[in-house]
């Protein structure tokens, strides 16, 4: 068979392209990444009450402005019904939106959504007006301090009765792991219950900081914070439901659908029997255990968690003066009466303000406190430059400094943990 001539080959290629309906290269469908970004005009995202804010919205594909893009945006107080909703074309240099101001401390948010080739992309930015001056709205009942002092006294009278079961399958060359059972107060202040968790302790000699980590909402087993323990931290990841945390997952799934379904509101109107009363004191009991651990350095005790775990971390830090570090990720159960004053209605707002008033207590001045919030938007909601603690759409992927202290060798140690404490922590 004779080889095809160049002209004949080109003719066959042209015919094939025509039959296949191919378009010229210049008309091929664009498949590059689309990004919507919202940026306030202050690079630190903070403003004084009364100061004006402008947001700039851009829509880009592969880093270049997307011609003809339009966005729908909503503007108003954070997570409350928007006061402005509009749709507009986005110029090449970006759409500038004059957002006005706020006369009192709080947050003003703009959420922008663009639809490109049938897919929606969303981004947001939040301007903080004197966020450090936001004041709580919940008021303490007259006997608030006495109520919790009595609860802690009742807990202190109970022996810890710690029972440790080695978990060799979870242990590593650097860390020993145990299932832990501790004695806790009972449901109604009488009798006792148990509080369970997974302890991961560094092997070998030495003294180490400790981290207690309460969980997010739900019913599930736990495997411990092993990676963090391998960095030289004693960790205790706890469950809150009074049952071992290393059972078959089927057990937890069944309880979540039945006996423990809706547990945050159990006995909501009875402060002595409310579900979280036992949980709060159980977290203090977990601190008791860590503070008594023979390898604890005696000074660095931190608590951290997200969502429900963020709330429990704040409560524990308020109840327990031994806590020196607090890292709360988008805590639930917070500012439970804020919506009555025109503020965001938080997750878990049904929880009893009487008990959650702990979160408005003054914490020790030397307590290291860090917090991140996450907006539960779609995957396309990406943070812009300068994201602050009050706006961090990807807080669930951010590492934060948990505790900072001079080690015995004189070198400063910084421990970082990732949200949900899933073993992505690091130390420097």
Query: 54-105, pLDDT tens digit by residue?
Result: 999 999 999 899 998 999 999 999 878 999 999 999 999 999 999 999 999 9
- Confidence band, pLDDT 50/70/90 cuts, at residue 53: very high
The hierarchical CATH code for the domain 34-133 is 2.60.40.1930
Nearest partner of 183 among 268, 78, 289, judged by Cα: 289
With 90 as the cut, is the pLDDT of residue 421 above it?
no
* Every domain range in the chain assigned CATH 2.60.40.1930: 34-133
Residue the block writes with tokens 């009050």: 390
**109-123, 285-299, 313-327, 383-397: lowest mean pLDDT where?**
383-397
- Confidence band, pLDDT 50/70/90 cuts, at residue 136: confident
Nearest partner of 371 among 401, 405, 415, judged by Cα: 401
- Confidence band, pLDDT 50/70/90 cuts, at residue 422: very low
Please give the structure tokens belonging to residue 369.
């406190």
The hierarchical CATH code for the domain 144-427 is 3.40.50.1820
- Rounded CA separation 194/198 (Å): 14
With 80 as the cut, is the pLDDT of residue 5 above it?
no
With 80 as the cut, is the pLDDT of residue 109 above it?
yes
- pLDDT tens figures, 153-177: 999 999 999 999 999 999 999 999 9
pLDDT at residue 379 in the model: 33
With 70 as the cut, is the pLDDT of residue 378 above it?
no
Question: Average pLDDT for residues 258-281, to the nearest whole number?
Answer: 94
Classify strands 175-185 and 192-202 as parallel, antiparallel or unpaired.
antiparallel
CA neighbours closer than 13 Å in the CB half-sphere of residue 114: 27
Please give the structure tokens belonging to residue 62.
């592969």
Question: Average pLDDT for residues 41-56, to the nearest whole number?
Answer: 95
pTM exceeding 0.85:
no
CB 189 within 8 A of CB 298: no
pLDDT at residue 369 in the model: 55
Residue 190 contacts by C-beta under 8 Å, 6 or more apart in sequence? none
pLDDT at residue 20 in the model: 41
* Every domain range in the chain assigned CATH 3.40.50.1820: 144-427
pLDDT at residue 139 in the model: 80
Question: Average pLDDT for residues 258-272, to the nearest whole number?
Answer: 93
């Amino acid at each position: 068979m004779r080889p095809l001539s160049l002209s004949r080959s080109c003719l066959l290629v042209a015919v094939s392209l025509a039959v296949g309906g191919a378009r010229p290269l210049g008309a091929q469908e664009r498949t590059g990444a689309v990004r919507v970004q919202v940026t306030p005009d202050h690079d630190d995202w903070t403003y004084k009450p009364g100061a004006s804010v402008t947001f700039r919205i851009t829509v880009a594909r592969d880093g270049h402005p997307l011609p003809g893009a339009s966005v729908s945006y909503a503007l108003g107080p954070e997570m409350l019904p928007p006061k402005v909703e509009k749709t507009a074309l986005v110029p090449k240099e970006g759409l500038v939106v004059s957002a006005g101001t706020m006369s009192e401390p709080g947050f003003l948010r703009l959420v922008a959504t663009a639809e490109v080739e049938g897919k929606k992309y969303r981004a947001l930015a939040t301007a903080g007006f004197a966020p450090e001056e936001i004041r709580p709205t919940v008021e303490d009942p007259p006997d608030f301090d006495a109520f919790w002092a009595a609860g802690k006294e009742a807990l202190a009278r109970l022996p810890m009765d710690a029972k440790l079961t080695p978990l060799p399958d979870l242990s590593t060359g650097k860390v020993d792991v145990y299932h832990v059972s501790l004695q806790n107060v009972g449901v109604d202040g009488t009798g006792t219950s148990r509080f369970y968790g997974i302890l991961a302790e560094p092997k070998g000699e030495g003294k180490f900081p400790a981290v207690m980590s309460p969980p997010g909402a739900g019913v599930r087993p736990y495997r411990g914070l092993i990676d963090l323990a391998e960095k030289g931290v004693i960790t205790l990841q706890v469950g809150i439901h009074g049952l071992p945390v290393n059972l078959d997952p089927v057990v937890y799934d069944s309880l979540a659908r039945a006996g423990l379904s809706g547990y945050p509101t159990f006995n909501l109107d009875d402060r002595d029997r409310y579900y979280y009363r036992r949980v709060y004191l159980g977290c203090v009991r977990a601190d008791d255990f860590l503070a008594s651990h023979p390898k604890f350095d005696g000074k660095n005790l931190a608590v951290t968690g997200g969502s429900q775990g963020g709330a429990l971390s704040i409560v524990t830090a308020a109840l327990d003066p031994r806590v020196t570090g607090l890292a709360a990720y988008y805590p639930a159960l917070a500012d439970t009466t804020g919506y009555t004053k025109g503020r965001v209605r938080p997750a878990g707002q049904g929880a009893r303000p009487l008990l959650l008033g702990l979160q408005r207590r003054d914490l020790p001045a030397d307590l290291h406190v860090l917090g991140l919030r996450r907006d539960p938007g779609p995957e396309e909601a990406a943070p812009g430059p300068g994201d602050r603690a009050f706006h961090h759409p990807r807080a669930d992927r951010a590492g934060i400094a948990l505790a900072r202290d001079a080690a015995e060798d004189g070198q400063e140690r910084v421990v970082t943990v990732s949200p949900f404490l899933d073993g992505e922590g690091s130390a420097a």
